[in-house]
Amino acid sequence: MKNTILTLQKQKEENDKIIMVTAYDYTTAKLMDEMEVNTILVGDSLGMTMLGYEDTLSVTMEDMIHHSAAVARGAKNAFIVTDMPFMSYQTSVYDAVVNAGRLIKEGRGHAVKLEGGSAFAPHIEAIVKASIPVVAHIGLTPQSVNAFGGFKVQGKDLEAAKSLIEDAKAVEAAGACMVVLECVPAKLAKKITQELHIPTIGIGAGPDCDGQVLVYQDMLALYEGFRPKFVKVFADAGKTMRDGIAAYIQETKGGNFPAPEHCFRIEDRVMESLD
Ligand code: KIV
């Protein structure tokens, strides 16, 4: 079944959890799509997971378009959300619309995601007016890592909690079709989820959001670096890959690979004629 903003909204109404996962390439997107995830996020986390940067700040529009288009070729039914990279929308409402348009036209996603609350309501409104669905992202917004002074849980004291609720309501009023809540106390995320009409997608925001998102390298243990508290490892694909590569090395060095069944034949008479 094709996932759309309408089916995702219906999932919230029917209390059917929305499954979102990141993907950045054709093969992974195809696999996720075959597993019937509802939505694939082409996150700017690709700066770290695919490009080896220490944060998301250096990711460009060209990076996002390149990876989003590959995902779109692999996923047939998932709703594809493509991140707007740092400085592709913060500069002006005009830039936000132009760059959102490029992500849809060239990157072939179905929606764009941008980080920020009420301050970005005019940007969200303008993009939505251009018929592009917008997913908002509030709480810990990694593009603001330098402004936050590090990766920290957001909304913990009264003022911060109130301002997060205001942000959530502002992005909904501006026309966002979903909102990602990152690193938000579980009880606050539950309250926001109950007060909004649009679906909330949590990452480090407890079990009561309308859906969850994880970076696939984190949940499949493909990434050995820092692992945030909110990540659960569901399978050790990293170990499976390391075991496979070790076996390849061992069999190749030992002369057991390639075996006859991996080789192409030539008739003896052809070989003899060569002498
Ligand atoms: O870039 C990303 O992968 C994200 C998720 C962490 C929500 O924004």
202-240 residue pLDDT tens: 999 999 999 999 999 999 999 777 789 999 999 999 999
pLDDT of residue 227: 87
pLDDT of residue 103: 98
Mean pLDDT of 184-195: 98
In terms of Cβ atoms closer than 10 Å to its own Cβ (0-12, 13-18, 19+), residue 163 is middle
Choose the weakest-confidence range: 13-22, 73-82, 114-123, 151-160. 151-160
| Residue 18 near residue 201 (C-beta atoms within 8 A) | yes
Q: How confident is the model over 128-144, as pLDDT tens digits?
A: 999 999 999 999 999 99
Tell how far the Cα of 129 is from the centroid of ligand 1, in angstroms: 24
* Side chain identity, residue 104: I
The dihedral region occupied by 168, where left means phi > 0, alpha psi between -120 and 50, and beta the remainder, is alpha
Catalytic residue among 36, 159, 182, 251: 182
| Residue 101 near residue 84 (C-beta atoms within 8 A) | no
Using CA atoms, how far residue 261 sits from 19, 46, 193, 247, in Å, is 41, 38, 57, 18
Tell how far the Cα of 260 is from the centroid of ligand 1, in angstroms: 46
Q: Which atom of ligand 1 is nearest to the CA of 201?
A: 7
For the chain, give the percent of residues with pLDDT over 70.
100
Mean pLDDT of 81-99: 98
Q: How confident is the model over 31-83, as pLDDT tens digits?
A: 999 999 999 999 999 999 999 999 999 999 999 999 999 999 999 999 999 99
The total of other beta-carbon atoms located within 10 Å of residue 44's CB is 29
| Residue 138 near residue 196 (C-beta atoms within 8 A) | no
Residues counted in the chain: 275
The total of other beta-carbon atoms located within 10 Å of residue 85's CB is 24
User: Is 0.85 topped by the overall pTM?
Assistant: yes
pLDDT of residue 116: 97
Is the confidence at residue 196, as pLDDT, over 80? yes
The band of 125, judged by pLDDT with boundaries at 50, 70 and 90, is: very high
Q: Does any ligand 1 atom lie closer than 6 A to the CB of residue 115?
A: no
Q: Does any ligand 1 atom lie closer than 6 A to the CB of residue 43?
A: yes
Q: Does any ligand 1 atom lie closer than 6 A to the CB of residue 184?
A: no
Q: Does any ligand 1 atom lie closer than 6 A to the CB of residue 22?
A: yes
Name the strand (E) or helix (H) holding 212: strand 211-214
Q: Does any ligand 1 atom lie closer than 6 A to the CB of residue 41?
A: yes
pLDDT of residue 151: 86
Query: In the block, which residue shows the tokens 């764009």?
Result: 112
Active site residue 106: no
Tokens, residue 208: 């009561």
